[in-house]
Amino acid sequence: MTRLAARFTKKFKFVPPFDRASLFVTEYFSSELNPKKRMKSFLKSSKLNSVCYDIRGPVLDEAKEMESHGEEVLKLNIGNPAPFGFRAPDEIVGRISSNLVKAEGYIDSKGLISAREAVVKYYKSKGIDSADVENVYIGNGVSELIVMAMQGLLNDGDEVLVPAPDYPLWTAAVVLAGGTPVHYICDEQSEWQPDTPDIRKKISPRTKGIVVINPNNPTGAVYDRDTLEAIVRIAAENELIIFSDEIYDRILYDGAVHTHIASVAGDLPCVTLNGLSKSHLITGYRVGWMVFTGDLASVRNYMEGVNMLASMRLCSNVPAQYAVDLALAEDGAIRKHTSAEGRLKLQRDLGYDRLSRIPGLSCTKPKGAFYFFPKIDTKLFEIRDDERFTLDLLKKEKVLVVQGTGFNWFNPDHFRIVFLPEISQLTRAFDAIEHFLKDYRQS
């Protein structure tokens, strides 16, 4: 105890001897013998227990750990064009930068009037005559608006039909709003078109809406008009709202035609979500919109809730809103990449060809977006856990993809891979996947 005594003698050197001894004993027993009282643990909300977003999940965490140790990882997990050399059109960047001074203050919670007018003009040109500037909400990308749309609508236990596979934020947003996502099947044998009999079968008295993702993420499917009309009929018969995520509506290949479901929905209430992140390669600028169309008498109270949520965040990011009118008037930048000799088209063709030639893999050729969703022969590779499959691939070949169950697909037999990298990088990625699968077996 000599060192301990010396420490306390030095600490209390100006205290009288008797008091010094008392303080020494008190401090010794309180700090050295008694464990420090720990603060109680704070746990995450139980609402998050059923939420996953594996596009940026545990396997990505492992990739970051590898990078922290100097390993180079080819990240094919997220649709982010900028890291792969895609640049936003100069005129879009110029429009935003030239209006920065005007963007210093709050604006209307629904968004800049010029941006909302441009959105209305765009949809009217697509045959959606009920589009109106007062029913347009500008947001920080579509992601924020998906959450807002679900929070404004759902009570505990309400159900929303969501495609499987889906963009997982839709499922997460339903859960966080207290609702129950009910997944309907998209049929791989029919080029991933929604299975409309399955939609009909899964409707219950608690169902409030149907989510449509077209062009689809993760499959790249572009839905035909007959399928969309069938969904509209089902929604009308059951008095449901349609939510249509169309963020990839301008990223199309091989002459594929995108049909806005609101253009065939007539008076049925339809909420269309879109933005500039993908079509104009400005994911970081965060600008998207949500448009209510159709006969809105039955959803006026719901829209009051959305108004409240929009007002609570004051307004969305202002600078990029100044580019919406210019962006919606032209799409030459993305068409350059999706045309016959365009970079995205060539990368898609190469990737599809390579996937088709790897034993144990098969893939439906995507007609839109920039993802493959290949199927794995789980019997051949003895795969029962697709997250482990992606983790094993990452550790051995330093290629990061996302497992299919991360998109709420039912079986561990798919994965999503982004085809944004240039040909040389894509070739390296597919060489690595092919090499990995040659002797891979999941014990």
* DSSP secondary structure of 210-249: EEEESS-TTT-----HHHHHHHHHHHHHTT-EEEEE-TTT
Q: Which residues lie closer than 8 Å to 384 by C-beta, 6 or more apart?
A: 378, 412, 442
d(CA 176, CA 396): 36
d(CA 165, CA 213): 10
Domain ranges of the chain: 2-33, 53-84+336-438, 90-332
Q: What pLDDT sits at residue 24?
A: 54
| Best CA proximity match to 292, nearest among 234, 243, 327, 247 | 243
H-helix or E-strand containing 399?
Answer: strand 399-400
d(CA 155, CA 177): 7
| Best CA proximity match to 439, nearest among 385, 387, 384, 397 | 397
- For residue 42, the tally of other CB atoms under 10 A from its CB is 5
Q: What pLDDT sits at residue 45?
A: 80
Residue written as token pair 């990452």: 394
Q: Kindly report the CATH number that applies to the domain delimited by 53-84+336-438.
A: 3.90.1150.10
| Best CA proximity match to 279, nearest among 262, 301, 264, 258 | 258
Residue ranges of the chain with per-residue pLDDT less than 50: 1-18
d(CA 400, CA 223): 28
Q: What pLDDT sits at residue 58?
A: 85
3-class DSSP state of 35: coil
Domain 53-84+336-438 and domain 90-332, same fold? Reply is: no
Q: What pLDDT sits at residue 363?
A: 97
3-class DSSP state of 209: strand
| Best CA proximity match to 416, nearest among 399, 436, 434 | 399
What single-letter DSSP state applies at residue 134? Answer: G
Would you say domain 90-332 falls under CATH 1.10.620.20?
Answer: no
